[in-house]
C-alpha cells in the first residue's frame, strides 16, 4: 500500500512507526479534549483583508466555503479584554494623610509612567515583530472572533484556477528552488531536493506537509454522495471519508510517484511543531489561559500540563540546532527564510474560499509561531548571544498560542486519519 510508509522521516532521526503510535495513542486524544476548551476554540482573524498580490478573483459562492460568525455574547469575557482581577495592589491605594504635593507628584508620575509604558509597549511590539515569521491579525481593527468548532476544516469544493494559483505562487515564488530548475514547473520533484541545502529542503518539506494535511482533511471529511450523487445543495450534507478522493490525491499513479513523499512531509512538519511546543513548554506551562470562567480555565491549565508532560518525553525531537549554523551566509539565509514565510502568510489573504482562508491563516500562523520559537533565540536555553546581549523574555501572544496548538491539532488529526485510510485500503 502506497500509504504504508516506512523508515526514517527525512532530515530527522525518528521513524514513521514511532510517530504513528506516539501520536495516535498519546497526542491525538489529548489534543482533542484540549482544543474544545474556550481558550482554544475562539480565534481572532481578519477574513476581509484584500489580496495584496493580485486583484481578487470572484469569492467562492459555494455554501460550504461560508464561515459562521459568532455572536458577541458567545465570546468569553476574558477574551473581550476583561483583565483578571488581582486581590490587592499597593501602588494604586491612596492613604488618608497623603498631602497635595504627594498627590501632584503621583499625578506626574502616572502621566510619565503612562507615556513610558506606551513607548515601552511600542518598542516591545516592534522588537517582537522582528522575531515574527508571520503577520498577526490579532490587533487588526477588522479582526473578529471565529468559533473554530462551528467551522470545521473539511471539503468545501474550492478548487480550480484560484486554488491552483495560491499553491503555484507559494511553490514557485516563495519556496526555495533547486538550482537550474525549470521555472515553468512550480512543483518540485523530490529527487531534486538533494540539490538544495538543509534549510531550503526543510522549508519546502514543511509547506508540502501542510498542503498534504489540508488535502487529507478534505478527503477524510468529504461531502458524501446522497441519493442523487454529490450535492452541494444538500442542506445538512453527510460527511465522512472518501477513499477514492484520498487515492486520487496521493497514489503514485496519479501523482507522478510524489504522493508518498508528500505524505512523508506531513510527518516532517509534525515533528517541527512538536519540537517547538516542547521548547516553549516552560512558557506554556505558566500561562494563565484566562477566559473569565475559573473552573474551565483550571481544566485548561491541567490539560496543557498533561499534554506537555507527554510531549517532553518524546524521544526523537527535531533538532533545530543543525540549521542556520554560524556565519554571515547562514544569517542571510535565515532572513530570507523569514521573508519567504511572511509572504506565504500574506498570500492567505488571496484564498478565495472563506473557510479555507480561515484554516489556511490559522495553520500558517501556527507554523510561523513554531518557527519563531525555534529560530528567534527568545526560547533558547543559552541566555546570551556572544555573551553580550541579554536574552529577551519568552513572549507569545494569545493568537500565537491558539494557532500553534490548533495547527498541531490539525497535523495530529491528519496522521490519525491517514491510519484510517490505511485500514480502509486493507
Ligand atoms: P492541489 O491540491 O490544488 O495541488 C496543486 C498541485 O500541487 C498538484 O497538482 C500537485 O502537483 C502539487 N501538490 C499537491 N499536493 C502536494 C503536496 N502535498 N506537496 C507538494 N506538492 C503538492 N479545499 C477544501 O475542500 N477544504 C479546505 O479546507 C481547503 N483549504 C485550502 C487552504 C488553502 C490555503 C488552499 C490554497 C487550498 C485549500 N483547499 C481546500 C483546496 C485544496 O487544497 C486543493 O487546492 C483543491 O482541492 C484542488 O486540488 P487538486 O487535486 O487540483 O491539487
Report pLDDT for 369. Answer: 96
Q: Using CA positions, which residue lies closest to atom 19 of ligand 1?
A: 208
Q: Is 156 annotated as a binding residue?
A: yes
Q: Using CA positions, which residue lies closest to atom 25 of ligand 1?
A: 155
Q: Using CA positions, which residue lies closest to atom 30 of ligand 1?
A: 356
Task: Kindly give the distance from the C-alpha atom of residue 160 to the centroid of ligand 1, in angstroms, as a whole number.
Answer: 9
Task: Kindly give the distance from the C-alpha atom of residue 367 to the centroid of ligand 1, in angstroms, as a whole number.
Answer: 18
ipTM value, please give it. Answer: 0.99
Q: Using CA positions, which residue lies closest to atom 51 of ligand 1?
A: 249
pTM of the entire structure? Answer: 0.88
Task: Kindly give the distance from the C-alpha atom of residue 159 to the centroid of ligand 1, in angstroms, as a whole number.
Answer: 8
Task: Kindly give the distance from the C-alpha atom of residue 168 to the centroid of ligand 1, in angstroms, as a whole number.
Answer: 10
* Catalytic positions, written as ranges: 353, 356
Probe target for ligand 1 pocket from 160, 191, 356, with the most ligand atoms within 8 Å of CB: 356
Task: Kindly give the distance from the C-alpha atom of residue 212 to the centroid of ligand 1, in angstroms, as a whole number.
Answer: 8
Query: Residue 410 is placed in which grid cell?
Result: 490539525
Report pLDDT for 127. Answer: 53
- Residues with a CB atom less than 6 Å from ligand 1: 153, 155-156, 158-159, 163-164, 166-167, 187, 208, 211-212, 214-215, 218, 249, 262, 351, 355-356, 359-360
Kindly give the confidence (pLDDT) of every residue in the chain, 426 residues in length, as a single tens digit, with 9 standing for 90 and above. Answer: 899 999 999 889 899 999 999 999 999 999 999 999 999 999 999 999 999 998 866 567 677 899 998 888 999 999 987 555 443 333 233 334 444 344 344 444 444 455 556 555 555 555 556 678 787 777 788 899 999 999 999 999 999 999 999 999 999 888 888 877 666 677 888 888 888 899 999 999 999 999 999 999 999 999 986 544 444 455 566 899 999 999 999 999 999 999 999 999 999 999 999 999 999 999 999 999 999 999 999 999 999 999 999 999 998 889 999 999 878 889 999 999 999 999 999 999 999 999 999 999 999 999 999 999 999 988 887 655 554 454 557 789 999 999 999 999 999 999 999 999 999 998
Q: Is 264 annotated as a binding residue?
A: no
Q: Is 249 annotated as a binding residue?
A: yes
Q: Is 59 annotated as a binding residue?
A: no
Q: Using CA positions, which residue lies closest to atom 2 of ligand 1?
A: 215
Amino acid at each position: 500500500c502506497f500509504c504504508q510508509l516506512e523508515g526514517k522521516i527525512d532530515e530527522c532521526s525518528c521513524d514513521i512507526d514511532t510517530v504513528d503510535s506516539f501520536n495516535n495513542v498519546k497526542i491525538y486524544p489529548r489534543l482533542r479534549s484540549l482544543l474544545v476548551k474556550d481558550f482554544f476554540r475562539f480565534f481572532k482573524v481578519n477574513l476581509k483583508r484584500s489580496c495584496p498580490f493580485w486583484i481578487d478573483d470572484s469569492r467562492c459562492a459555494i455554501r460550504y466555503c461560508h464561515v459562521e460568525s459568532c455572536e458577541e455574547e458567545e465570546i468569553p469575557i476574558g477574551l473581550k479584554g476583561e483583565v483578571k482581577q488581582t486581590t490587592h495592589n499597593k501602588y494604586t491605594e491612596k492613604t488618608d494623610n497623603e498631602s497635595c504635593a504627594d498627590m501632584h507628584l503621583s499625578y506626574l508620575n502616572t502621566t510619565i509612567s503612562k507615556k513610558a509604558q506606551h513607548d515601552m509597549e511600542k518598542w516591545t511590539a516592534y522588537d517582537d515583530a522582528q522575531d515574527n515569521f508571520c503577520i498577526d491579525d490579532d490587533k487588526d481593527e477588522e479582526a473578529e472572533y471565529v468559533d473554530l468548532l462551528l467551522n470545521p476544516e473539511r471539503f468545501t469544493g474550492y478548487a480550480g484556477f484560484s486554488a491552483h494559483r495560491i499553491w503555484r505562487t507559494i511553490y514557485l515564488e516563495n519556496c526555495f528552488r533547486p538550482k537550474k530548475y525549470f521555472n515553468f514547473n512550480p512543483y518540485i520533484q523530490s529527487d531534486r531536493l538533494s540539490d538544495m541545502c538543509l534549510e531550503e529542503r526543510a522549508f519546502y518539506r514543511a509547506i508540502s506537509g501542510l498542503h498534504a494535511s489540508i488535502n487529507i482533511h478534505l478527503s477524510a471529511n468529504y461531502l458524501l454522495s446522497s441519493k442523487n450523487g454529490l450535492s452541494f445543495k444538500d442542506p445538512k450534507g453527510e460527511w465522512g471519508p472518501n477513499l477514492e478522493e484520498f487515492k486520487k490525491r496521493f497514489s503514485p499513479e496519479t501523482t507522478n510517484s510524489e504522493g508518498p513523499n508528500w505524505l512523508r512531509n506531513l510527518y516532517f512538519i509534525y515533528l517541527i511543531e512538536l519540537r517547538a511546543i516542547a521548547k516553549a513548554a516552560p512558557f506554556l506551562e505558566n500561562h494563565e489561559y484566562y477566559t473569565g470562567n475559573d473552573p474551565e480555565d483550571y481544566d485548561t491549565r491541567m490539560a496543557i500540563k498533561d499534554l506537555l508532560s507527554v510531549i517532553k518525553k518524546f524521544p526523537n525531537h527535531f533538532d533545530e540546532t543543525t540549521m542556520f549554523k554560524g556565519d554571515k551566509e547562514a544569517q542571510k539565509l535565515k532572513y530570507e527564510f523569514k521573508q519567504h514565510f511572511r509572504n506565504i502568510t500574506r498570500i492567505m489573504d488571496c484564498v478565495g474560499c472563506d473557510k479555507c482562508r480561515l484554516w489556511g491563516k490559522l495553520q500558517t500562523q501556527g507554523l510561523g509561531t513554531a518557527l519563531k520559537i525555534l529560530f528567534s533565540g527568545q526560547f533558547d536555553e543559552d541566555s546570551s548571544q556572544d555573551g553580550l546581549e541579554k536574552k529577551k523574555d519568552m513572549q507569545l501572544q494569545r493568537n500565537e498560542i491558539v494557532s500553534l496548538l490548533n495547527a498541531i491539532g490539525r497535523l495530529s488529526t491528519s496522521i490519525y486519519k491517514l491510519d484510517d485510510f490505511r485500514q480502509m485500503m486493507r
